[in-house]
């Protein structure tokens, strides 16, 4: 016999290290002799799409395609520290640092263009497609490559750094402002519980995710799929089975994780309310898309069978045991 239930869960999440811990990202923007712009930032790519997002931010500042940005982010001998790929901080923190570095480079390039073109101000200048020119007279312009050739030093380099706002919480009251910004997320799921076997199947899910501003919708949607898969694993699959301090399920043959066949379709709703301190309004959403998934699944199980499961993962053995206990108490 199978019973269905619907569950919801919502969370708010402070991005960054928090609680007054220094949260600093650094970046360098460099104009090469070929007119290409290279961004140096020690922001490790771990599959979250950092290389794409950070390139897009620099490209937006400089009016070029992200394909024309050379991002170097994993060579510690030449990249400045951008902090860890953790706490959902890279888009917000390092994105801001790169934006500042690119803006500083742009400002210096404009100053060179003004002198070379014989202008008296930057009014009416546009920076687009690898050139700086007068909007009302596009022929009056200079390319990035030409600007690079005018620089006596080897390369034109400008730095940018960004420090996230965070303060220590009061140890006596527990009050304070440990994080900025916060992001918000909510999940709704429908499950089917087989009360004879104790198995749980997630039939469908919907995620509403606050993004600040969505720089790359496809990457955000992919992050939601991955985040839900992890939450699904936490909720009903991934059991370390620790006995007397030893992990019994220490291989993938017995430590189960969700496969593509276990994943329901996840409807994505991206909520945009630009964050004034974020790069073009963006927030980090790496971890928030995972957190509410398991609670929503547990709430759906409760809605289906009237039993509040308080330990994850909800394995068939645990569910059958809870069902039998409920029958005995009835």
DSSP string across 34-85: TS-EEEE-B---SSS-HHHHHHHHHHHHHTS-GGGEEEE-S-TTTS-B---S
The pLDDT, as a whole number, for residue 329 is 87
Q: How far apart are CA 181 and CA 57, in angstroms?
A: 19
Asked if pLDDT for residue 104 goes beyond 80, the answer is: yes
The average pLDDT across 168-192 equals 95
* Average pLDDT of span 302-328: 95
Instruction: Give the active site residue among 30, 190, 275, 287.
Output: 287
What is the distance, to the nearest Å, from the Cα of residue 290 to the centroid of all Cα atoms in its chain?
A: 11
Q: What was the pLDDT predicted at 281? A: 98
pLDDT digits (tens, 9 = 90+) for 228-265: 999 999 999 999 999 999 999 999 999 999 999 999 99
Using alpha carbons, select from 201, 207, 179 the residue that is nearest to residue 11: 207
In order of their start, the domains of the chain are 2-14+179-329 (3.30.365.10), 24-163 (3.30.365.10)
**What pLDDT, on the 0 to 100 scale, is given for residue 330?**
74
d(CA 274, CA 183): 11
Task: State the average pLDDT over residues 26-48.
Answer: 94
pLDDT for res 62: 98
Q: What is the DSSP string of 73-142?
A: -S-TTTS-B---S-TT-IIIIIHHHHHHHHHHHHHHHHHHHHHHHT-S-STTEEEETTEEEETTEEEEEE
pLDDT band at residue 47 under the 50/70/90 scheme: confident
pTM for the whole structure: 0.93
Average pLDDT over residues 182-195: 97
Q: What is the mean pLDDT of residues 38-57?
A: 94
Mean pLDDT over the full length of the chain? 95
C-beta of residue 160 within 8 angstroms of C-beta of residue 98? yes
Give the model's pLDDT for residue 154. Answer: 73
Q: Is 179 helix (H, G, I), strand (E, B) or coil?
A: coil
pLDDT tens profile 107-165: 999 999 999 999 999 999 999 999 999 999 999 999 999 999 998 767 899 999 999 99
Is the predicted pLDDT of residue 321 greater than 90, yes or no?
yes
CB 45 within 8 A of CB 51: yes
Q: How far apart are CA 88 and CA 92, in angstroms?
A: 8
Is 329 one of the annotated active-site residues of the chain?
Answer: no
The stretch 43-48 carries a mean pLDDT of: 89
Reference 185, options 301, 286, 314; nearest CA is 286
């Amino acid at each position: 016999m199978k019973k269905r239930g619907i569950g919801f869960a919502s969370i708010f999440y402070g991005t960054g290290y928090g609680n007054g811990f220094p949260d600093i990202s650094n970046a360098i923007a460099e104009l090469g002799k070929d007119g290409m712009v290279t961004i140096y930032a020690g922001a490790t790519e771990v599959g979250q799409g950092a290389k794409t997002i950070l390139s897009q931010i620099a490209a937006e500042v400089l009016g070029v395609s992200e394909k024309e940005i050379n991002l170097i982010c994993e060579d510690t001998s030449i990249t400045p520290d951008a902090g860890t790929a953790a706490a959902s901080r890279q888009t917000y923190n390092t994105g801001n640092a790169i934006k500042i570095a690119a803006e500083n480079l742009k400002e210096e390039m404009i100053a060179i263009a003004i002198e070379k073109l014989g202008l008296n101000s930057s009014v009416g200048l546009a920076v687009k497609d690898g050139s700086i020119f007068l909007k009302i007279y596009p022929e009056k312009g200079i390319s990035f490559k030409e600007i690079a050739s005018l620089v006596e030093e080897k390369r034109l380099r400008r730095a940018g750094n960004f420090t996230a706002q965070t303060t220590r919480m009061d140890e006596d009251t527990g009050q304070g402002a440990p994080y900025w910004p916060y992001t918000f997320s909510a999940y709704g799921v429908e499950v089917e519980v087989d009360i004879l076997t104790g198995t749980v199947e997630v039939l469908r899910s919907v995620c509403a995710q606050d993004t600040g501003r969505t720089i790359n919708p496809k990457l955000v949607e992919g992050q939601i799929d991955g985040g839900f898969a992890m939450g699904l694993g936490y909720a009903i699959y991934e059991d370390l089975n620790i006995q007397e301090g030893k992990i019994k399920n220490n291989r993938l043959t017995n430590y189960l994780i969700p496969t593509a066949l276990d994943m329901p379709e996840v409807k994505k709703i991206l909520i945009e309310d630009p964050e004034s301190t974020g790069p073009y309004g963006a927030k980090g959403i790496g971890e928030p898309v995972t957190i509410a998934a398991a609670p929503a699944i547990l709430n759906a199980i409760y809605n289906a069978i009237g039993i509040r499961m308080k330990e994850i993962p909800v394995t068939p053995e645990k569910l059958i045991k809870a069902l039998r206990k409920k029958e005995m108490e009835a």
